[in-house]
Amino acid sequence: MALSTALTQDLDAHLDDLVELYQEFHRSPELSMQEHATAARIKELVEGHGYDAFLCGGTGVVATLVNGDGPVVAYRADIDGLPIAEDTGADFASTAQGTLPDGTAVPVMHGCGHDTHISVGLETARLLAEHRDLWAGTAVFLFQPGEETSAGAAAMLEDGVWDKAPRPSAVFGQHLWPGVAGTVNVSVGTAMAMANSLEVTVRGKQAHGSQPENAIDPVVLGAFMVTRLQTVVSREISARDAVVLTIATFHAGLKDNIIPDKAVFSINVRSFDEDVRATVLAAIERIVRAESAAAGAPEPEIRQMYEFPRVYNDPALTSSLMESFRDELGQDAVLETPAVTGSEDVGRFGDAIGVPYTYWFFGGHTAESVEAGVAGNHSPMFLPDDVRTALRTGVRAALTALVSHLQT
């Protein structure tokens, strides 16, 4: 279905305001589960549009608008920033600072597009409130904290979001990515990978750097672990099964001539199959403990930091939505895409109550920029260069998903 011209004309009339709103949130990101000012601003705006709103899961916001009899449909937008120093050069670039849970002070940036997610969600909420004659039922907006750490959806569910808000028959959401503005990319079935993040503490024995015979060197031991862990995917997993195993942090020692007593590194695993994930996690455990034993080192510590579920777009709901997208955005603007190895926790909202959901991507750049190469999500350079088209498309896609289920 195509949207009413009343909706698109209203959107276009307020597009400058929408860009300003996006820039406001871009300037002031907050770290995961610390989004206090962001949540307060969101709550203020949705209540100004006539929604009933409440905080949920600490810094999440749930906004509900009842518009007569009809189905209940939910739309989710994530709101947290990342510990990244922005390097885009934009005049509205973030200079915000935050503190990690361990007390480390870090710069903060909306380096994954959540600023667009917030502003698109708020504008979609405004348009539904302003045009109640075009739909009937109940719209529930979930402004979710802590997506980057997979803590937010779980926190909102633990706080009883579906006991406090009407339960929907479908859940929708979307994510900005480095594609062409004006297009959406949708996967049918499996859309995004499961993820597990682990922290390994390698125990050794401290000694002076000139006396390695008195040490159990956790740096060397950790290096053996890192090297052998790279064989898990290449030698223990079938080539038919997609897995990514990344070790992106490794910390040890404070002085060049002191062998430390421990080293700490982190592991990130992406997979699409539960059995494959179990095999990889078991291999990590086996290798880390066996290498420690081989070195005569104390028992290592393996701690799970967080995990993401698989994102599975309900085939019937998604196929129907793609047809609606084509009616609204055009045939060439809707692209069916294989599953990506990125991860999300949006699926928890639908999985918790057994309702279908669909999650898609929308582009933020000119075709010329994409062809030349643009920075991806989680980069200090990530910034949509065709933000007007991106925001406009995001709102049209969100409205299409909601209104197609909230028809009068």
Q: In 3D, which of 104, 99, 59 has the Cα closest to residue 79? A: 59
Q: In 3D, which of 176, 132, 192 has the Cα closest to residue 379? A: 176
Q: Per DSSP, what are the bridge partners of residue 138?
A: 66, 72
DSSP letter (8 states) at residue 336: E
- Looking at residue 362, its pLDDT comes to 98
pLDDT averages per 10-residue partition of the chain, 408 residues: 91 98 98 98 98 98 97 98 98 97 96 98 98 97 97 98 98 98 98 97 97 97 98 96 96 97 98 96 98 98 95 98 97 96 96 98 98 96 97 98 90
Quick check: 288 and 302 in contact, CB under 8 A?
Answer: yes
| Owner of token pair 């779980």 | 154
- Looking at residue 93, its pLDDT comes to 98
Strand, helix or coil at 109? strand
DSSP letter (8 states) at residue 253: -
- Looking at residue 63, its pLDDT comes to 98
- Label residue 65 exposed, middle or buried (CB < 10 Å: 0-12, 13-18, 19+): buried
Q: Report the C-alpha gap between 312 and 273 in whole angstroms.
A: 12
- Looking at residue 297, its pLDDT comes to 98
Residues in contact with 290: Cβ distance below 8 Å, sequence separation at least 6, in sequence order: none
Q: Report the C-alpha gap between 78 and 399 in whole angstroms.
A: 17
- Looking at residue 408, its pLDDT comes to 64
Q: Which domains, from first to last, does the chain contain?
A: 5-192+310-403 (3.40.630.10), 194-307 (3.30.70.360)
- Looking at residue 2, its pLDDT comes to 85
Enter the pTM of the model: 0.92
Question: Within 13 Å of residue 350, how many CA atoms lie on the same side as its CB?
Answer: 25
| Owner of token pair 């599975």 | 312
Quick check: 225 and 287 in contact, CB under 8 A?
Answer: yes
Tell me, rounded to whole angstroms, the distance of Cα 252 from its chain centroid. 29
- Looking at residue 64, its pLDDT comes to 98
